[in-house]
């Protein structure tokens, strides 16, 4: 007989939301999964990909230490991943990502949040 088990903690992880990022902030970790997520913004319902990273060095979020986090589909991250894909990259579990905030663009429209820009470097053995 074959059995599988899934837990909430495997999927619902601390997210590195836009509030986490400021210019120069970076994280490095190993890609260990992804999931499609649904969210709402000022323009309505959307979907995107959130990536699970196992960090090389734990970080503190809301006073708690975390070594596994999720990168949500922030506009700047999605753009950086699109640039990677345009350069021939396709994500694979085990890839090592270094994600760095290169600056934060102020929102120009009401009800929109500031948007971090990113540089994503990938290493693969």
Q: Six-digit token pair at 106? A: 């102020």
Going by their DSSP bridges, the two strands 64-71 and 26-41 should be labelled as unpaired
In a domain, 76, yes or no: yes
Q: 55 near 29, Cβ under 8 Å?
A: yes
Average confidence (pLDDT) over 36-62: 85
3 assigned to some structural domain: no
Residue 118 included in any domain: yes
> Is residue 10 assigned to a domain?
no
Q: Is residue 59 part of a domain?
A: yes
Position 91 in a domain: yes
pTM summary value: 0.86
Q: Where would I find the beta strands (DSSP E) of the chain?
A: 26-41, 44-61, 64-71, 96-105, 115-123
75-111: pLDDT as tens digits: 899 999 999 999 999 999 999 999 999 999 988 888 7
DSSP character at residue 76: H
Residues spanned by the domain of 101: 16-123
């Amino acid at each position: 007989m074959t059995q599988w088990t899934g837990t909430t903690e495997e999927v619902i992880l601390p997210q590195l939301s836009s509030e986490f990022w400021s210019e120069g902030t970076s994280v490095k970790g190993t890609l260990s999964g992804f999931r499609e997520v649904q969210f709402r913004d000022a323009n309505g319902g959307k979907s995107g990909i959130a990536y699970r990273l196992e960090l090389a060095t734990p970080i503190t979020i809301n006073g708690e230490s975390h070594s596994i986090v999720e990168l949500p589909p922030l506009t700047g991250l999605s753009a950086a991943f699109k640039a990677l894909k345009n350069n021939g990259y396709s994500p694979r579990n085990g890839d090592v990502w270094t994600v760095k905030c290169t600056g934060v663009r102020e929102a120009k429209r009401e009800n929109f949040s500031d948007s971090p820009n990113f540089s994503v470097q990938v290493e693969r053995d």
